[in-house]
Amino acid sequence: MAVRPLIAPSILSADFARLGEEIAAIAHPGETRADWVHVDVMDAHFVPNLTLGLPVVEALLKSTDVPLDCHLMIDDPDRWAIGYAEAGAYNVTVHVEAANDPVKLAKDLRAAGAKAGLSVKPGTPLEPYVETLKHYDTLLVMSVEPGFGGQSFIPDVLEKVRTARRLVDTGHLRLVVEIDGGINAETIEQAAEAGVDCFVAGSAVYGADNPGLAVAALREQAARHRAN
C-alpha cells in the first residue's frame, strides 16, 4: 500500500471558468496539497456526458506541478490515450470496457512516459482482468456509473477493492488501488477500510469553503481507517 492515502480532487466539480485558480487552491505545500488532480475526459459516446479534452489538459499541465491523473471515459482509447501521456500527464487511465488491446495500450502509455491505469465500471467483474492488470500501475474502481459527478456511492464495489487489495498484498499485482465516485466524509472511511490507496473526491473538495483543508481532512480520515 502507498505510504499515505492519496487524495485526487476531481475538477469535474470545480468551476470550469476558473480551473487554474481551482487547482491552485489544492496545490499549496503541506497537508492541504492534493497528491493528484483527477481530470475526467468524457466524449459523449462511451458515456453520455461531454467534458474536456487534450487541449485543456495541455493548458493545465503548464499551470500546475500537481500530477495530473487523466481518466479517459472515451471510445477507442487505444487511439487517443497516448496523446495524454505524451503531453505529460502523470497517470492515464482507460476503461477496460472500451480498450481493444489493453495490454499493448499499457505498454504504449508507459513508453510515452505515463503511468498506466485501468478502470472498471461498477458492474464489470475484476477477476477476468487480473492477468491484464499485471501490466498496469493503477486500478481505478468506479463506485458510481461513469459519466456524471454528484452521484451516490455504490458500496457493493468494495468487494472488488478487497480482492485487489489481497492481490497487491500477496504480490500478485503491483499497483495503486484507486476509487472514484461518491467519495466524501461519510464514504471515505469504508473505502479506506476495504483497502483503497487513492481517493478521487469531487464535490467533497470543491463544494467545501476551503478545498485545501478538505483535502487534508479527507486524507486524515482515510489514514485513520485504512486497511492494515
The residues, any chain, with a CB within 8 Å of residue 85's CB and separated by 6 or more, are 92, 108, 109, 112, 113, 114
Is 180 labeled as catalytic in the residue annotation? yes
Is 108 labeled as catalytic in the residue annotation? no
The angle formed by the CA atoms of residues 1, 198 and 148, to the nearest 5 degrees, is 155
Among 52-66, 116-130, 139-153, 154-168, the range scoring the smallest mean pLDDT is: 139-153
Strand ordering across the sheet containing 115-120 = 6-9, 198-201, 176-180, 138-142, 115-120, 91-95, 68-73, 37-42
Catalytic residue, candidates 40, 43, 69, 137: 40
Q: Locate 49 and state its grid cell.
A: 456526458
Q: List residues bridging with 198 in a β-sheet.
A: 6, 178
Write the pLDDT tens digit of every residue in 119-129.
999 999 999 99
The residues, any chain, with a CB within 8 Å of residue 210's CB and separated by 6 or more, are 25, 32
Instruction: Please compute the mean of the pLDDT values over residues 53-64 and round it to a whole number.
Output: 96
* Residue 1 pLDDT grade (very low, low, confident, very high; cuts 50, 70, 90): very low
Catalytic residue, candidates 35, 43, 137, 180: 180
* Residue 162 pLDDT grade (very low, low, confident, very high; cuts 50, 70, 90): very high
Do β-strands 115-120 and 138-142 pair in parallel, antiparallel, or remain unpaired? parallel
Write the pLDDT tens digit of every residue in 216-227.
999 999 999 986
Checking 18-22 for CB contacts under 8 A at 24+ apart, the result is: 19/56, 19/60, 20/60, 20/63, 20/64, 22/206, 22/211
